[in-house]
A and B are shown apart, each in its own frame.
Chain A
Amino acid sequence: MRTKIELKSIRKGFVTNQQTLQVVEDVSLNVADGEFVAIVGPSGCGKSTLMNMIAGFFQPDSGSILIDGVPRTKPNPKGILISQHGSIFPWLTVQQNLMFGLNDHANADKQGVADHYAAMVGLKGFENSYPHELSGGMLKRVELARAFAVKPEILYMDEPFSALDALMNLRMRNELLRILAEERHTVMLITHDVEEAIHLADRIMVLSPRPTKIQATFEVKLPHPRKLTSPEVQQLRVAILSELGVDRNAD
């Protein structure tokens, strides 16, 4: 398959108090077009920094990031970042939020697209609601719909569902899989939830503590829908957790 994202020896450090704190140390990886890659790692290991660089918000100190073979310089609508805290504009209605990124469409068209994606994530009837009138789970749906509406080639998801309760988290994962079955995108997911990674991804990379690098890679060859209680999933989970240095009995 064609390579969509290519990272070559990415390094990144931050200067604090005349000291350089190395955060990302030599990360190289390829993501194929349409692939779903999850990156798991201990908290504070530099996962978000890595994601911010791939999405174009920071530049790496050295190394290169190629999207479709072209060096990435700044963020653009071809790759939409969805982060933990969300960024739905609270001063716009659901529909206005969904229309926000549709710059190339005529006005009537924008509404059609917005309504289509609102319906897709189950927000029909809430188009004119303001975000503060919605629950956390519904806000995540708006977030997903707003991203899908601009037809991005890549979704960058930085712990997108970690602020939700366990039940809503599970529900949103299924929702995401359902939409991805309809509209295939390349997805990079950052999470500290191993089960979430196994549930969703085709490939899982385990990052080491800071300065971070890729410590191990796992292919998830299970067909969807995946049964989280199956022995294969449990086996994989144990293997990944032990890579992360977590004792299986402790979890």
Chain B
Amino acid sequence: MNQLKRSLPALAVIALLLATWWLAVFATQSVIFPTPWQVVTGTVELIKDGTLWMHIGASLLRVGIGFSLAVLVGVPLGLWLGWVRAAYDTLNPLFQILRPISPIAWIPIAILWFGVGNASPIYLIFISSVFPMIVQTTSGVHTIEKRYLRAAENFGVSRRTLFRRVVIPATLPQIIVGMRVGLGVAWLVVVAAEMIALRSGLGYLIIDSRNAGNRYDLVISGMIIIGLIGLLLDALMRMLEGLKSVRWRYAH
């Protein structure tokens, strides 16, 4: 009940926006820009012919593969960079140069290297989400409190145990933050990447709807669905933050 009360203002803002949108379309007598209701009927159309699920599935699959690869590479690399000073000094400058390059800027090269199949967007997702994960993981290792490392040293544990029982769990909250950021970026990028080529995915749906007869109802439908799925993905990652073994870092 309390939660409902708290989300009331947010819902009110959304309702207000929808109303303004509706009124604006009526007032301007626009023939191209759809009303919210047209977006709903357009979405129902997509659901009925099954193409919506196909597009969502395609986008999620690309994100799933690209993001998983980024986790598999980024987290171990980040731990290594955080733990081994020489590795950090050697690789961090390079990563700092690569990191600010927008994934969109990689599109021509991705097409050149991987063609217009699934590999291109997967590569773009990988390259965009791997850096936030490396950076967060590395800084997670760097910010482990000294007292924990000293206690481990005091108890005379092996290097392997130190890494497994202290370094990794101490860094885990930061790793999860990195994964959240990485997944958010991955979802942004997949849609952008799908606008360029391919024949499936939510990005493709948006561009195709516009090209094939100015179906702006489907364009907006695609946008809203992207937003909702993004929200859902973030909520999933936030559930990881609720794990008892990482709560200490976020608590309060």
Contact = CB atoms under 8 A, between A and B. Distances in A.
Interface of A: 55, 57, 74-77, 79-81, 83, 85-87, 89-92, 100-101, 103, 130-132, 150
Contacts of B244: 130
Interface string B144-170: 000110111111111001000110011
Nearest to A80: B154
A101 B155 CA distance: 5
A85 B147 contact: yes
B48 to A, nearest CB: 49
B251 interface: yes
Closest 9 CB pairs between A and B? Answer: A101-B155, A90-B248, A87-B151, A91-B169, A87-B147, A77-B156, A75-B154, A132-B248, A91-B245
A76 B155 CA distance: 6
A77 B251 contact: no
B155 A91 contact: no
B211 to A, nearest CB: 52
A213 B158 CA distance: 36
18 contacts: A75-B156, A77-B156, A79-B154, A81-B150, A85-B147, A87-B147, A89-B165, A89-B170, A90-B249, A91-B170, A100-B155, A100-B157, A100-B165, A101-B156, A103-B157, A103-B158, A130-B245, A132-B247
A101 B248 contact: no
Contact of B153 (A75, A90, A103, A131): A75
**Which of B150, B151, B245 is the most central at the interface, judged by chain A CB atoms within 10 Å of its CB?**
B151
B154 A55 contact: yes
Contacts of A100: 152, 155, 157, 165
Contacts of B152: 100
B172 interface: yes
B171 to A, nearest CB: 10
A101 B158 CA distance: 10
Contact of B148 (A80, A81, A87): A87
Contact of B251 (A75, A79, A92, A132): A132
A89 B148 contact: yes
A81 to B, nearest CB: 6
B119 interface: no
B56 interface: no
Contacts of A76: 154, 156
Contact of A91 (B147, B157, B248): B248
Contacts of A79: 154
